[in-house]
């Protein structure tokens, strides 16, 4: 299984919606948290972890769902593991890079 990635560009910002491929279309809920992993937002190219890492390096904003996807961002130093939310055991993280 790969990582589904969709890229959005607005001015100088590059936003990535990315998730583990098998999570596309799933609805997660736990307590007050709700997350619909919509194909319209996260569905795009299916890539391997190395390719995802290259896209993530260029992103200024990212919305990430799934074990492989979030772990890649943690390994790259973009996400602090203590800041990851878990919804039904599925990791979810957001990233914003501050540009100078």
**For 2-35, how does the pLDDT look when each residue is reduced to its tens digit (9 = 90+)?**
999 999 999 999 999 999 999 999 999 999 999 9
pLDDT band of residue 98 (cuts 50, 70, 90) is confident
Percentage of residues of the chain with pLDDT beyond 90: 94
DSSP state of 80: -
3-96, which class in CATH? alpha beta
In angstroms, rounded to a whole number, what is the distance separating the alpha carbons of residues 16 and 5?
7
Whole-number mean pLDDT of the chain? 96
Please give the span between the terminal C-alpha atoms of the chain, in angstroms, as a whole number: 36
CA 76 to chain centre: 13
Q: Give the CA distances from residue 76 to residues 47, 49, 63, 70, in Å, rounded to whole numbers and listed in that order.
A: 17, 11, 15, 10
């Amino acid at each position: 299984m790969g990582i589904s990635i969709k890229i959005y560009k607005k001015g100088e910002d590059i936003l990535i919606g990315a998730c583990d491929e098998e999570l596309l279309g799933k609805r997660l809920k736990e307590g007050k948290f709700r997350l619909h992993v919509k194909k319209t937002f996260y569905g795009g190219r299916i890539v391997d972890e190395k390719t995802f890492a290259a896209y993530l390096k260029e992103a200024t904003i990212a919305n990430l769902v799934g074990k492989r996807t979030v772990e890649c961002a943690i390994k790259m130093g973009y996400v602090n593991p203590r800041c990851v939310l878990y919804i039904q055991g599925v990791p979810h993280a957001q990233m914003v890079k501050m540009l100078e």
